Structure 1
Amino acid sequence: MDSEKPRQKMTIKSWLALFILAISTFTIVTTELAPVGLLTPIAEGLHSSESAIGMTVSLYAWVGALSALFASVFLGNVAKKRLLLVLTVVLMMSNVLAATVDTYNVLLSARILGALAHGAFWAMIGVTAVAIVPARYIGTATSIVFGGVSAASVFGVPISNYIGIHFGWRQAFWLMATLSVVAFVGITVLVPQITSKSAIGLDALKSVLKSSTLWKIYSATLLAVTAHFAAFTYIEPWLHTQSLLTAAFIPAVLFVYGIAGLAGNFLTGVLIDKYLKMTVALSVLLICAVLITLGLSGSSLSAAYILSAMVIWGVAVSGIFVGFQTWVLRMAEDKTFPASALYVSFFNIAIGIGASVGAWMVSSFSVPLLYIVAGTAIGLSVLLVAIVPASLTAKHSHVEKSYEPN
């Protein structure tokens, strides 16, 4: 298409646009997870229980899943850049409200407001990344943009926790509000106007649901992400079972895992455009091996052994997160928005199911058994990965899009 010619080469502005979108994903994911590191101070500040504050995270995930579907049906005809800016403002308002609340009910309202923006934003941001780069850079663009998710996992929650302890929990939400402003300015200046031909509405959503290929990717995502979060939610209790690992060393192990996740994002970005299917399959098998090994190895593993396992797990999980997202965008043809929205919904549902299943297994059985079951489940997802084509035919391998000048 003639309209694509100006974008056949990556410009400095294109790379900067991807970077600002990564800051946006960092902000929305840190906003989602911030209460995890602030349960006690928020509970004390609002005279509520820690479990009640924890529910604001669960509710956020479920509302976010519904928000993504709602956006794909009703907001697809809104200009992408304009919608991103509006959603960023809503996210900022959510964080400002959370920073100034005096009651639990108002905090819950602030979280619901943020979740409404979260789901729609996440569904939109992958489509936006695809639209501002040439087709051969889709995987790289996705890995950069969703690198913000890994960064939030590594730095977002610990930073929120540190701010909450030393400056007060409200300041953590003020930080998120400030980052929302930074994202707003960056999107305004760097992200081009995009007019996408992605199909919208209920008919488009139904069409996506009729795609056997996308259903296989969604099913693999649901299985793999559920298994991962079931295991990862209880990584700290598992580490405490290790007799040779001191409690003081556990934060270092988790930090190493997070840094490995960031490295995995970089590695995935290098490989995924040429080797998408192999990258996802290898990532799944590596996590399968790690979880089953950890579940079977007993309670006397050395620190070096545990660190090695965490590095492999951290690197490989990036291949899953970025890989499935890229695969959906690659196979969706002219339905990138509803296809991406469904992916976001399945991802958030998997987080909720994973945490719930993990809680049940730990209370009824044990953490090691949970790891064995989770490893087996994530390994089974490779069967679905094996039967999904790596890409569409050359005739249909690009997403139609056009551009307007800023």
Structure 2
Amino acid sequence: MTTPIKPQWGAVFSMALGVFGLVTAEFLPASLLTPMAASLGVTEGMTGQAVTVTAIFALVTSFFSASLTSKLDRRGVMLLFSVMLIVSNLLVAFAPNLTFILAGRVILGIAIGGFWTLAAATAMRLVPEAMIPRALSIVFSGVSVATIVAAPMGSYFGHLIGWRNVFVAAAAIGVLALGWQLAALPKMPPNPLAKNSSILSLIKRPGMQTALLAIILVFSGHFAFFTYLRPFLESVTGVDVNGLSAILLGFGVANFAGTLLAGLLLERNLHLTLIGMPLAMGLMGVALVGLGSAPVMDALLVALWGMAFGAVPVAWSTWITRTMPEEAESGGGLLVAAIQLAITIGAAAGGMIFNVTGAKGVFMGSALLLLLATMTIFMALRVKAPVQDGV
């Protein structure tokens, strides 16, 4: 795949703003569930399906978006995702009932799944090859910022201006992203050398099953940890609400820093980053369980976990661009599907372990998954793939 001589950082940052808008919209219902349910006259459980339907359609879209858009200019496709973000938020903001909200969230799920499928392949066309990890780290930084601000800001402004106006504000973010992308994204006609292999054929490639297992283990371990972080901090560390908020903020800020640092790490050594991050997370999980009630050390370890995880999605996206540069879009879809599956597994398995052993058991299980992932990644990388020297 040909890459530009000069990096187009304005276009890269416009994608990061689009990511921020998409992920913020994805997270908003979690912080606005109670007022949304009360306003619509339905239960919180029914309203919570707004989150579920988004995830389901993001997963389904990841399988088909590369092939369905293969003959379209990538600039137009990215602009379409921003339009869908705006439409989704406005549908939710002015929804007279739950059906309209679910329709809006379906549109958002399609935009999220499609965007993440094509993100790495699009970044490859905006910067020189050596700068791809840096570009991906900037794009993924939008996720970290949304993670930090979406839930607390959604809850805060929902109380001040009402939940509907919060979604209008989210639509405004989409308008800003669309405007920047219109100005910054260059025309990107379909690449004649690109291959849109089916996800099934990619899975059959040598070493791919082991790599996918590693991805699922890493993300399952992380999301089991993250889902039950609050119960651990409350029941094991013993922090109050203020301490909990401070630790969660520290996690988010460190995650943002880790995402940005990932670009520099990956430009130096991709394989060491892929192996080192889950190893560090696994060891920190063991340390958290062993320390017990040690608020300062626990806060530090949680922040370091967030920093280490910040590099993980950037690293695997970079791995996709280097191992299958002409199939990066199909590979991106496979990566999105694996991560969505891992989120489901991590949350479900964590819940079962929590019911039996409590938060400590969940954290130990997460640590063991991550250490197993480290060994699996080492095995996967032993299979020679068409990557550049020095990675």
**Fold equivalence (TM over 0.5):** yes
175, 178, 197: which one aligns with 2:172: 178
Q: Write the letter of the residue equivalent to 1:8.
A: I
Tell me what 2:275 maps to: 281
Tell me what 1:400 maps to: none
Tell me what 2:326 maps to: 334
Tell me what 1:322 maps to: 314
Alignment check: 8 A CA contact 1:260 1:312 kept? yes
Change (3 A) 1:306 1:336: same
Tell me what 1:165 maps to: 159
- Deviation, 1:117, is 1.6
Tell me what 1:402 maps to: none
| SS in structure 2 at match of 1:388 | helix
Alignment check: 8 A CA contact 2:137 2:259 kept? yes
Tell me what 1:358 maps to: 350
- Deviation, 1:394, is 4.4
Structure 2 segments unaligned to the other structure (5+ residues): none
- Deviation, 1:91, is 1.6
| SS in structure 1 at match of 2:48 | helix
Matched, 1:9 2:41: no
Alignment check: 8 A CA contact 1:217 1:328 kept? no
251, 254, 268: which one aligns with 1:257: 251
The TM-score normalised by the length of structure 1 is: 0.90
Alignment check: 8 A CA contact 1:123 1:340 kept? yes
Structure 1 stretch 208-217 or stretch 383-392: which is displaced more? 383-392
- Deviation, 1:314, is 0.9
Matched, 1:84 2:48: no
The Cα offsets for residues 131-168 of structure 1, whole Å up to 9 and x where unpaired, read as 11111011111111011111111112222121112111
- Deviation, 1:363, is 2.1
Q: Write the letter of the residue equivalent to 1:69.
A: F
Tell me what 1:24 maps to: 18
* Cα distance in 2 for residues equivalent to 1:359 and 1:46: 29
The Cα offsets for residues 311-353 of structure 1, whole Å up to 9 and x where unpaired, read as 2101100121211111112111311111111111111121122
* Cα distance in 2 for residues equivalent to 1:349 and 1:94: 24
Change (3 A) 1:371 1:197: farther
Change (3 A) 1:43 1:193: same
* Cα distance in 2 for residues equivalent to 1:38 and 1:110: 16
Tell me what 2:360 maps to: 368
| SS in structure 2 at match of 1:133 | coil
* Cα distance in 2 for residues equivalent to 1:221 and 1:129: 21
The TM-score normalised by the length of structure 2 is: 0.94
Alignment check: 8 A CA contact 1:73 1:200 kept? no
Q: Write the letter of the residue equivalent to 1:113.
A: I
Change (3 A) 1:361 1:393: closer
* Cα distance in 2 for residues equivalent to 1:378 and 1:394: 27
Change (3 A) 1:294 1:198: farther
- Deviation, 1:246, is 2.2
Change (3 A) 1:296 1:190: same
| SS in structure 2 at match of 1:223 | helix
- Deviation, 1:204, is 4.0
Matched, 1:239 2:233: yes
- Deviation, 1:304, is 1.4
Identity of aligned residues (%): 27
Tell me what 1:55 maps to: 49
- Deviation, 1:82, is 0.6
Tell me what 2:285 maps to: 291
- Deviation, 1:83, is 0.8
- Deviation, 1:375, is 0.7
* Cα distance in 2 for residues equivalent to 1:391 and 1:139: 18
Tell me what 1:194 maps to: 188
* Cα distance in 1 for residues equivalent to 2:125 and 2:209: 23
Once the two structures are superposed, the pairs formed by residues 303-318 of structure 1 within 5 Å of their partners are 303-318=295-310
Q: Write the letter of the residue equivalent to 1:357.
A: A
Tell me what 2:266 maps to: 272
- Deviation, 1:209, is 2.1
* Cα distance in 1 for residues equivalent to 2:44 and 2:195: 41
* Cα distance in 1 for residues equivalent to 2:72 and 2:200: 20
Change (3 A) 1:243 1:24: closer
- Deviation, 1:93, is 0.6
Tell me what 1:382 maps to: 374
| SS in structure 1 at match of 2:332 | helix
Alignment check: 8 A CA contact 2:9 2:126 kept? no
Question: Which runs of 4 or more aligned residues in structure 1 lie more than 3 Å from their structure 2 counterparts after TM superposition?
Answer: 197-201, 203-207, 388-391
Equivalent pairs counted in the alignment come to 387
Change (3 A) 1:58 1:293: farther
Matched, 1:131 2:143: no
Structure 1 segments unaligned to the other structure (5+ residues): 398-406
Q: Write the letter of the residue equivalent to 1:293.
A: A
Change (3 A) 1:242 1:370: closer
- Cα RMSD of the aligned pairs, angstroms, is 1.9
Alignment check: 8 A CA contact 2:322 2:387 kept? no
| SS in structure 2 at match of 1:146 | helix
- Deviation, 1:207, is 3.2
* Cα distance in 1 for residues equivalent to 2:55 and 2:108: 10
Alignment check: 8 A CA contact 2:30 2:51 kept? yes
Structure 1 stretch 186-195 or stretch 255-264: which is displaced more? 186-195
Change (3 A) 1:40 1:379: same
Alignment check: 8 A CA contact 2:236 2:360 kept? no
- Deviation, 1:200, is 5.0
Q: Write the letter of the residue equivalent to 1:133.
A: V
* Cα distance in 2 for residues equivalent to 1:243 and 1:74: 49
* Cα distance in 1 for residues equivalent to 2:388 and 2:117: 25
Change (3 A) 1:134 1:41: same
